[in-house]
Amino acid sequence: MNACVTGLQWGDEGKGKIVDVLAEKSDIVVRYGGGANAGHTVIVDGTKFALHLLPSGSIRPNTICVITNAVVIDPQVLIDGIRKLAEKNITLDNRLLISENAHVVLDYHKKEDQLREEALGKNKIGTTIRGIGPCYADKVGRSYAVRMGDLRNLDKLKAKLQNIVDYKNKLFTALYNAEPLNADEIFQNCKSYAEKLTPFIIDTTEFLHKSIAEGKSILFEGAQGSMLDLDHGTFPFVTSSNSSALGMPSGCGVPAKMVDKFIGVIKAYSTRVGAGPFPTEQDNETGQYIRERGHEYGTTTGRPRRCGWFDAVVTSYSATISGIDEIAMVHLDTLAGLKEVKICKAYEINGKETTFFPANIDRLSQAQPVYETLPGWEEDLSEISSFDDLPANTQNYIKLVEQITKKPITIIGVGPGRKQTIFR
């Protein structure tokens, strides 16, 4: 069975945990998009792993891990990730495969990300400064792009980098009055990346199709979430890739029809990190309560996440565009202790109610959430292992989300650990 796990909110939904749990029954886990802007947390027996580029199946010793074409790879972050796992006696030797066609994030991408955000001032996107936008821009622009396969031909790469860095330096000095970068330094870094990473570089599309033909079970893992999708999210406050499940087929060269099940991950509330519209945001005591109880601070940047009520308009839209079959809802434990809990079931825009999410931010900025208020629950859920043992108010909350989104919630998270997962 092949499945795809994708975020249905603004990222950080808990994809890492869900992928790790589902990876138990998968032969292969595939990261199909985004870059080191992602931070996927997996907690196993109290040990915490923060994965930025490695698939969340990496922790399981026999799982093949694949990073496909549409991922933008910061080689140093990947090397650090491999090393950190090795320090915990988890080796990726003979089970990590990296696409030769994945694009490489280099120093000038991170520099440009930072310079551009600084120049934008109060209009900044609030990116992770991981060079994501500039790297995808070079990919689309084609002429100044470096791909993982280029690490196999260093002479050619040296000349290519000289040309790219000359061009970037002209831009950076003219536009931002910035210090020029040194092409040779970047090349020397690439030489060291090549030494460590070339053994893993292959044609991942061929590998995946062979594996599918052999009947292997594959789990596809998305990064970010549908609301950050370049084409379907809250543009321009998005990332630079198709981070909904729509990015899966193009991201790895496997058609969606070869995936048996699309699983969307949501939190029992909403969070967003970075700038941009967030209709159900609670910039108040409730938001603070959720942030502290849920440890809502970024895995990649450490920034406090903005918190708010669950938005069923967002989830319904995301589930629709991503073709979601089932939902995993995590962090129900975090909401415990609130007297009342709210679910946004519609937006009112200029006096008219809508249940279809307006991805155009001019309309979205007019949206007033229409809430359904439910009684909360006091009980600690973290030890509960079956749906029937959940408090009635928690069950009702889950059922209302199912009713509004018309999707079954088949996996429930009651804590960050692998075992704190309820299957229905």
Q: Of 3, 61, 63, whose CA–CA distance to 32 is shortest? A: 3
Tell me the CA distances in angstroms from 417 to 1, 46, 116, 206, 304, one per residue in order: 25, 7, 38, 35, 21
Among ligand GDP, Mg ion, ligand IMO, none, the one that 334 touches (CB under a kind-dependent 5 to 8 A) is: ligand GDP
| Residue 215 or 302 having the CB closest to ligand GDP | 302
127 binds, among ligand GDP, Mg ion, ligand IMO, none (CB under 5 to 8 A by kind): ligand IMO
* Residue 13 within binding range of ligand GDP, rule CB under 6 A: yes
Which letter does DSSP use for residue 124 in this model? Answer: -
413 is a contact residue toward ligand GDP (CB under 6 A): yes
Among 299, 315, 322, 394, which residue sits at the site for Mg ion (rule: CB under 5 A)?
299
DSSP letter assigned to residue 105: P
Among 334, 335, 401, 422, binds ligand GDP (CB under 6 A): 334
Binding-site string for ligand GDP from residue 284 to residue 323, where x marks contact by CB under 6 A and - marks none: ----------xx---x------------------------
What's the length of the chain?
A: 424
Q: List all residues 6 or more positions away from 16 whose beta carbon is below 8 Å from its beta carbon.
A: 40, 41, 42, 51, 56
Q: Residue-wise over 349-381: b if at least 16 C-beta within 10 A, else e?
A: eeeeeeeebbbebeebeebebebbeeebbeeeb
Compute the half-sphere exposure of residue 15: CA atoms within 13 Å on the CB side of its CA.
36
Distance, CA of 275 to CA of 123 (rounded, Å): 9
Would the CA dihedral through 22, 26, 32, 36 be positive or negative?
Answer: positive
Using CB under 5 A, which of the segments 31-39, 187-195, 201-209, 252-260 binds Mg ion? 31-39
Please say which residue, 110 or 267, places its beta carbon nearer to Mg ion. 267
| Residue 220 phi, psi dihedral angles, 5° rounding | -95, 130
Can you give the binding site for ligand IMO, defined by CB under 6 A?
A: 7, 10-12, 34, 37-40, 125-128, 130, 132-133, 223-225, 228, 239-240, 273-274, 299
Pick one of Mg ion, ligand IMO, ligand GDP, none as the site partner of residue 244 (Cβ within 5 to 8 A by kind): none
Partner whose footprint covers residue 341, from ligand GDP, ligand IMO, Mg ion, none (CB < 5 to 8 Å by kind):
none
Smallest separation (angstroms) from Mg ion to the CB of 364: 23
Does residue 259 interact with ligand GDP by CB under 6 A?
Answer: no
Q: Which long-range contacts (CB under 8 A, 24 or more apart) does 88-94 make?
A: 88/47, 88/49, 90/58, 90/59, 90/61, 91/61, 92/54, 92/58, 92/65, 92/200
Give the residue closest to ligand GDP by C-beta: 413
Q: At closest approach, how far in Å is the CB of 33 from ligand IMO? A: 9
What residues are labeled active site? 12, 40
Both tokens assigned to 315? 């989830």
Site membership for ligand GDP, residue 39 (CB under 6 A): yes
Which residues form the interface with Mg ion (CB under 5 A)? 12, 39, 299
Which residues contact ligand GDP (rule: CB under 6 A)?
7, 11-17, 38-41, 43, 294-295, 299, 330-331, 333-334, 413-416
